[in-house]
Amino acid sequence: MSKKIMAMALVLVMAFSAAMPQAMAVNTAEHGKITGKSVVHGLASLVIWPGLGQYLNDNETKKNWTHAILGITQIFRLWSGWDAMIDRTGGRWDGKI
């Protein structure tokens, strides 16, 4: 049973790795500096709601909404908090989600 699962996982990884480079959007992210203000914004995204830190960092509206909507999946809080803490602008999808 575990051999079948491993074989299926390997096939899926190979299939997705072959198709993904064409599907990926251009990474337009630029990292800012970590400051006391950006740490507070990161905590706001982590503790209160994802997207709040991006809003406080004056990111684009589409990025704020993307983080806020994906915040429904609670694991996204970690990414959003880190993203706000380093004051990152732009992003992998650049509004193409």
Q: How many domains does the chain have?
A: 1
Whether 47 maps to a domain, the answer reads yes
pLDDT tens digits for range 49-78: 999 999 999 988 888 888 899 888 888 888
Query: Are the beta carbons of 63 and 54 closer than 8 angstroms?
Result: yes
Show the domain range for 51: 28-85
Per-residue model confidence (pLDDT) at position 43 = 92
30 pairs with which residues across the strands?
A: 89
Look at residue 57 and tell me if it is in a domain.
yes
Whole-model pTM above 0.85? Answer: no
Using a CB cutoff of 8 Å and minimum separation of 24, what contacts does 66-71 make? 66/91, 66/93, 66/95, 66/97
Q: Is residue 69 part of a domain?
A: yes
Each residue of 21-43: pLDDT tens digit? 555 556 667 778 889 998 999 99
Q: What is the pLDDT of residue 18?
A: 60
